A and B are shown apart, each in its own frame.
Chain A
Amino acid sequence: MELYDIIFYFFAAMILVSGFVVVGSKNIVYSAYSLLFVLVGIAAFYILLGADFLGVVQLMVYVGGILILLLFGIMLTNKVKGVEIKSDSNFVIPSLITIAVFTAFLLFVITETNWLEITPEFVQTTVKSLGIELIQNYSLVFEILAVVLLIALIGAATLARNDNKEN
């Protein structure tokens, strides 16, 4: 086993274990913290896959942004005085069976397919080429995304605003 493999298995285990905690934990705060580990693991995966910039972005946006947002959401929507930060489930058994079958199929397809595998080349750094790509071939998408983000920003602010008239 090489070092690469060891690192992979380490992070894969981390992702899976934390993933189970995320979806299975009764305490939603635990879920949120486990999600942190899942996301960090995925960032590590990106780096293993030669996408260094993406890994950094994953850390910054997901861990630094979305996760914090989710934590805020938890904080604002649960009665913080202690007892209520629990969340239960429903339809567990049928859903579990369905999803198990679904996953089995997925894994079956993945393992049975003869993927055309080329020995990957490692590029030293992708930041520069990504940047060039972003303003050349993907410039339109880039601009549209900017607008989408703006709209999301305004929309979220409008939706979450406390309407003074009602209160």
Chain B
Amino acid sequence: MPHVGLTHFLVISSILFSLGLYAVIVRKNAILVLMGIELMLNSANINFVAFAHFGNLGLDGQMMALFVIVLAAAEAAIALAIVLNIYKTFLHINVDEVDKLKE
């Protein structure tokens, strides 16, 4: 078994990404969808930091990851507010039944 290198991190992150994608596509509960999005963002972050680390690319990758974390926080706040609004309107948060986009 080789030493842990860039590929290992990338593999883990891509599996994590797929898991997040699965949650986003499949789950009905809006909060679970949000969790999926967080997973995807985190996997992207791992990529950023891993590339920066193994490519000796300085701090830019970490910087980007930092910004992603900040934006994720903002996104989570807004999205949860929207979810609460959906709950107020429909009395549930099943995204598949919120299909006004069809009309």
Chain A residues near B (Cβ < 8 Å):
1-2, 4-5, 8-9, 12, 15-16, 19-20, 22-23, 28, 31-32, 35, 38-39, 42, 45-46, 49-51, 53-54, 57-58, 61-62, 65-66, 69-70, 72-74, 76-77, 87-92, 95-96, 99, 102-103, 106-107, 110-111, 115-118, 120-121, 126, 129-130, 133-134, 138, 141, 145, 148-149, 152-153, 155-160
Contacts and interface: CB of A to CB of B under 8 A. Distances in A.
A118 B54 contact: yes
Interface string B26-46: 111111101110110010011
A129 to B, nearest CB: 6
B77 A51 contact: no
Nearest to A103: B18
Given A23-B23, A28-B32, A42-B46, A145 B70 contact: yes
Contact of A73 (B12, B46, B66, B83): B83
Contacts of B34: 70, 73
B73 A35 contact: no
Contacts of B4: 4-5, 8-9
A133 B60 CA distance: 9
Interface in B49-87: 49-50, 52-56, 59, 62-63, 65-67, 69-78, 80-85, 87
B11 to A, nearest CB: 6
A91 B25 contact: yes
A149 B75 CA distance: 9
Nearest to B51: A115
Interface in B2-32: 3-12, 14-23, 25-32
Given A88-B28, A156-B78, 16 more contacts: A5-B4, A15-B12, A19-B15, A28-B31, A49-B52, A66-B38, A73-B80, A95-B22, A96-B22, A106-B18, A110-B11, A115-B5, A121-B56, A133-B59, A145-B67, A159-B82
Contacts of B14: 103, 106-107, 110
A49 B62 CA distance: 10
A74 B55 CA distance: 40
Contacts of B72: 61-62, 66
